[in-house]
A = this chain, B = another copy of it.
């Protein structure tokens, strides 16, 4: 493996040993066709199951209004062990009161029952639950139960089945999002795979417990399910996930709205046969870098497939006085309606960027601020503003960068050493058109 600590492999959540998956259509939106997914309906229920008890870690929305499945997961993840994840799209089971909590628990119970045999009992508490879709509508539990039974019957370790699961969690996503990597732990080969969904209501600010951290991001429904056959204890696994989420999902924004349902779950079943990783070992570093890579790639896929998104911008903020200043300044720019519409037009409008920085809570001085642009991966930064003054870089030269589908925005405040970066998107007519909904079709309205 030399310097390359991991490599990409085919598949996603079933790439690691000992994981099976399935994705089925059970008509969660109650379109009433009653036809299965093989009849062309979009799958809407996913099941991911570990053959053996797995260590589990999670990160959840810090929105005070959080959905019933998030409450269920936050409680179960604390126990550190799980066997399965059941996920539905089409209904967020959010703002559904006590019925919602009962329904989330029932999903876990149905799944546990479907997976249990007389020889092998699985408890409801070993099943994690996630939902995404319309807010404020009760889940059609008869359909959900049918879907769980069907999915349990179809479980396989194949890439196709993992793909079906990835499709089943999609809402307004235009494509499924999957990844898998392989890495060496001592003399063992281990793998990590994941699926996720995003599209709208995207600015996650997740913490392990759903409690607001000191440095919190403000505002998706994004769901991500990761599996690995590496062996880690739950505490070490949670630390690794915290680190990765902070650098990936908590650094993306599509529209600045933080969802009620954001959830990331990571199951580690130890089937690779390595000795449990300890947090300062070289093997742990390999695992962390693989997890970092997988989560970052999945997070970027969410932004690139955001509702109406036509441009991907990495906002790189340097020289802030404090880390929270750096975060606030980068997010003010990444969430400004005027900045985002200028990106839509391919316009290097540094005036709007400077304006957004100025109203952020970050300390700055206009006469010390630099603003520049580069193509991704290029060291060649063209500065439109240096020390608060426009440079003589021609407007057309800046436009050649900002007209690209992907570019980096470099901001230096020269106030200190703190840095932050945000993966952001433009704001387009297509976003507005998609989200304004159709009042004549209540099913078009929602989360």
Residue ranges of A at the interface with B (Cβ–Cβ < 8 Å): 62-66, 92, 94-95, 97, 134-136, 200-201, 205, 218-219, 255-260, 336-338, 341-342, 344-347, 349-352, 354-359, 363-367, 369, 385, 388-390, 395, 399, 402-403, 427-429, 431-433, 435-439, 442, 445-447
Give 11 new A-B contacts, CB below 8 A, not counting A134-B351, A344-B436, A346-B439: A64-B363, A65-B358, A95-B366, A97-B388, A135-B352, A257-B355, A337-B435, A342-B435, A345-B445, A349-B446, A395-B442
A–B pairs, 7, beta carbons within 8 Å:
A63-B359, A64-B365, A65-B366, A97-B388, A136-B354, A201-B338, A337-B337
| Closest chain B CB from A372 CB (angstroms) | 14
Compute how far the CA of A115 lies from the CA of B423 in the bound complex, rounded to whole angstroms. Answer: 53
Q: How far is the CB of A220 from chain B (nearest CB, A)?
A: 10
* Chief secondary structure at chain A's binding surface: loop
Q: Are A64 and B364 in contact (CB under 8 A)?
A: yes
A388 to chain B: which residues have CB within 8 Å? 95, 97
A341 near B134 with CB under 8 A, answer no
Q: In whole angstroms, how far apart are the Cα atoms of A92 and B349 in the complex?
A: 14
Residue among B200, B336, B347, B442 making CB contact with A257, cutoff 8 Å: B336
Q: Which B residues lie within 8 Å of A366 (CB)? A: 64-65, 95
Using A63-B359, A65-B357 as known contacts, say yes or no to A337 and B255 having CB atoms under 8 A apart.
Answer: yes
Neighbour of A255 across the interface among B260, B338, B428, CB < 8 A: B338
Tell me whether B219 and A359 are in contact (CB under 8 A).
yes
Q: Which of B63, B344, B436 contacts A355 (CB 8 A)?
A: B63
The distance in angstroms between the C-alpha atoms of A354 and B66, with both chains bound, is: 10
Q: For the complex of A and B, list the 5 residue pairs with the smallest distance between their C-beta atoms, beginning with the closest.
A: A135-B351, A65-B358, A345-B436, A341-B435, A63-B358
Whether the pair A445, B337 counts as a contact (CB closer than 8 A) is: no
Q: Contact partner of A336 among B66, B134, B256, B352, CB < 8 A?
A: B256
Of all chain B residues, the one with the shortest Cβ separation from A447 is: B351
If A200-B338, A347-B436 touch, does A355 touch B259 (CB 8 Å cutoff)? Answer: yes
A403 proximity list for chain B (CB < 8 A):
439
Give the docked Cα–Cα distance between A345 and B135 (Å). 17
Q: Which residues of B contact A65 (CB under 8 A)?
A: 354-355, 357-358, 364, 366, 369
Whole-angstrom distance between the Cβ of A191 and the nearest chain B Cβ:
35
- Pick from A255, A258, A363, A435 the residue with the most CB of B within 10 Å: A435
Q: Is the CB of B64 within 8 A of A445?
A: no
User: For residue A385, which residues in chain B have a CB less than 8 angstroms away from its CB?
Assistant: 95, 136
Chain B residue at minimal CB-CB distance from A384: B136
Query: Is there contact, CB below 8 Å, between A427 and B337?
Result: yes
Q: Nearest CB to that of A350 among chain B residues?
A: B136
Closest to A344 in B: B436
Distance (Å) between the CB of A282 and the closest chain B CB?
39
Chain B: CB-nearest residue to A356 = B257
| Complexed CA–CA distance, A354 and B342 (Å) | 29
Contact A257 B337 (CB under 8 A): yes
